[in-house]
Chains A and B, each alone.
Chain A
């Protein structure tokens, strides 16, 4: 007996739309089972995990702080993934954006003026885009595998940041701790509504970016080009679209948004550079992009859900004493179920009893 996946002739539009919700529901069920095994009341656990962080104003602010970089990076990645460019290096583009944006407050702390913050944001965007330009150029020019090059550049960026904060950029008054001086007041991204919490303008940037990209993708020729080249490069060529210009375009947009996320996080939430400025936002954003079905509006929702899982993990740790690893397990299950649901929308399972050797249709090539 063997089990095989057979491509469905037609996929259900209804289930395509429902799939993230089904995945979410399955994650909740699996989570409940997990809590049961941990000896906790599943209802309580899920309440602390998913409801409690939404009940207080300050907590909503924290949600926005956590979701902002995920959404910003996620919408950028959607352009890449829709056009069949596998940018895995958003984490590195985030870090280089943060570094480029921090040049003014760290290396020139004496330069204090209202122009500093806008310059920092621009430099962050340029830095992230330039860093994403490296794998893009290598792919367009030499046909290198962008998955490998973009991923490896992440480690280069992390080590570069590490060297900077331990070496030339270390705070002279910081007792040798590996961190830069604190940003001065002009270099801090303001809070949106300071009276009630610390959500900063990074969240506004994220929403704006998502809206603009949603418009571009669904209402403009450029959006059509992105999707056409992604789905059928041959058809794209006939339509007169350049594949290599699309590679550069997608990477630059995605890198620019990751860079903006980086400088927003550093200047809005942290206030200095440290050896680690991102708890893996660039990688989590890949989950966010797919959970949001590569649709910028869906990515806003997906970013909020992922951010909630971090906050919920803390709430559950304090209130019912589960380990901090549970939040990670939740995120893993969520991605697993999203991909599983998607696979089952495109393919159906066939169990055959005959032991005949037949070529197996692999569930590859689905984006």
Chain B
């Protein structure tokens, strides 16, 4: 905990016009690492997993590190203040963990060149002290698609989307491609919740989808509500961001688990050792940033197929976006054997064939 004298010292420094100066790093002082979450740490999804990463940093680095976090920080005018507060309170590295923090992160980074900023899921690195990081969640989505097509009797799955940004569209497409590798006629129905975290809205979306006849539920939102609705209504579902098996012991087939811990440990260590550099990392199953929760509630043959698919993606033998793939309207996108490049994926604003939805535009 910070002491009052430190604040007085900081005030004095500000008065001397040294406000923008970062903290001088002595090797013995603990490195201060700070996180900003868009949801509550109890969402059991996105923010919860980032917080698990924070806890892993504390556990592995012990006294060498001091941590702090702010939860439920709205994207907008309040985010800039929250980030600046961290920068001024002596944080050496600040992780801003939602897309909407992109501009505020870069704005504050300009004022604090000695503080390192890491923005999750964004693409702007306007200053040398801003890095961006994200994971290839679509690799897990493909595996889920394979499982869904094997498990579904109706041949149609429900998909709860948050916002129609490339990240989410990519996930839907990977899911459809995975499903079509098993059943070429498989369909996906999409409902946009237009929120990252709102258990009420997410539950409503899940109910609407089930009423339309889907018998597999998957979600790109952060609460456990869709899993719980699926459990009540007796269909199967996939967990999102964290292992949600507790909320659907008979329901969860698997979950894409975001494992940020190793990355956070590595980056905080780099700050401590003075080796931190600006990067833009997009890692997946191979690097362990994306982990599949245990395959449960499915027959052995489906489990074996899922494991085989996972291994192929992990080893690099197979990429989910490998041609031939057509766009939704039937026009060809990737030729036989062609693999989509990262740039196209990161700007993805179209569906592939088989999605029963009109992309909002």
Contact = CB atoms under 8 A, between A and B. Distances in A.
Interface of A: 47, 52, 55-59, 62, 65, 166, 175-178, 182, 196, 198, 265, 269-271, 274-277, 279, 311, 314-315, 317-320, 323-324
Given A176-B349, A324-B71, A324-B72, A58 B165 contact: no
A62 B104 CA distance: 14
A276 B74 contact: yes
Given A178-B163, A274-B76, A55 B7 contact: yes
Contact of A314 (B8, B10, B70, B80): B70
B360 A318 contact: no
A198 B103 CA distance: 15
B86 interface: yes
A177 B85 contact: no
B75 A274 contact: yes
Q: What 8 A-B pairs have minimum CB-CB distances, sorted nearest first?
A: A269-B77, A176-B164, A62-B81, A176-B165, A55-B11, A270-B77, A318-B68, A324-B72
B81 to A, nearest CB: 5
B14 interface: yes
Nearest to B88: A58
23 contacts: A47-B4, A52-B7, A55-B7, A55-B8, A55-B11, A57-B11, A166-B194, A175-B165, A175-B166, A176-B163, A176-B166, A177-B100, A177-B165, A178-B163, A198-B80, A271-B103, A275-B194, A276-B74, A317-B71, A318-B68, A318-B85, A323-B71, A324-B71
Interface residues of B, number: 40
B76 A270 contact: yes
B128 interface: no
Contacts of B361: 176
A136 B359 CA distance: 41
Given A175-B347, A265-B77, A318-B68, A56 B10 contact: yes
A330 to B, nearest CB: 16
B84 A58 contact: yes
B282 interface: no
Contact of B78 (A57, A166, A279): A279
Nearest to A268: B77
Contacts of A62: 81, 84
Given A59-B85, A177-B99, A275-B194, 10 more contacts: A52-B7, A58-B84, A65-B77, A166-B194, A176-B163, A176-B349, A177-B165, A178-B194, A317-B70, A318-B85
A55 B84 CA distance: 15
Contacts of A175: 165-166, 347, 349
Interface in B116-130: none
Contacts of B169: 176
Interface string B329-361: 000000000000000000101000000000011
A271 B361 CA distance: 22
A166 B163 CA distance: 10
Contacts of A56: 7, 10-11, 14, 88
Contacts of A166: 194, 360
Nearest to B78: A279
Nearest to A270: B77
Contacts of B89: 318
Given A55-B7, A178-B194, A319 B166 contact: no
A155 B165 CA distance: 26
A275 B74 CA distance: 12
